[in-house]
Structure 1
Amino acid sequence: MPTCRRAEADACILLDTHHCGVKKLFQACEQLTHSRASFVAQEKRRLTNKIGTELTVHAPIEEEIFHAALDRAIKKADLFDAAEVEHASAMDRIVQIQEAAERESEFVVKARAASGSGLVAMREQVAARKV
């Protein structure tokens, strides 16, 4: 589990720092889930693209360099299975978030086009119900 602490930079510290950075991006994306701001879909797309880029760079580095070197030193074939599953699951999650943000964005565009100025009246109805 990442510690997010700084020490003398070695491969573990570099990977740990990167894990912390990606975790923060995921947290920022999760926080947007609860926001009603107009920029949410666009910001989710930006964050998921950033996470996707980070993981696309990070996963091969960790697996091909770090895991390979440790695997040769430790001689345990299944030692890094959990990390590989975690990387695959993170990439799947990115795809799901990107698809949801895209659907949400398309929905908003269609709703605005179909409803026109009726959305203002609907906002008032929605606000009245939430009270």
Structure 2
Amino acid sequence: MQYLENINKIDTLFLTDIYEPRKNSLLLEVKGSVVADEETEVYVILFKNYIAYHVLNENFSVPDPNDEFIKIGHNRLRLFTKSGYMEYILKETLANDMFPNEMKHYGLYTEHHVIHIIAFKDPIIEMKVPNRY
């Protein structure tokens, strides 16, 4: 995934937008903190076909000690290899019956939010030009 390493190098990451640009797709926009009016890179993370997602206030998020994930850089975007959230989705949806073993669990960890996404495909990550104020 292009730009994945860039996101995981950012010390302070903020979620700036989240919406569904079309049916069954999820778009997340994130950027690093701004220091001394210095512009920061803005990234768009698009999941073209998601099954489920949920957003938590990071102050109330508790990591599951049984979860396992691939650690890259600062762990901003994680790919889980085992998770309680995936087990819940497997139990509560028909997605695995329809598309066996195709689901992946991603976690996006920002300064104020934790977003868990279950999707069939890897996200598309793009860098966009930051807004100038």
- For normalisation by structure 2, the TM-score amounts to 0.22
Greater fraction of residues in helix: 1
Q: Radius of gyration: which is bigger? A: 1
- For normalisation by structure 1, the TM-score amounts to 0.22
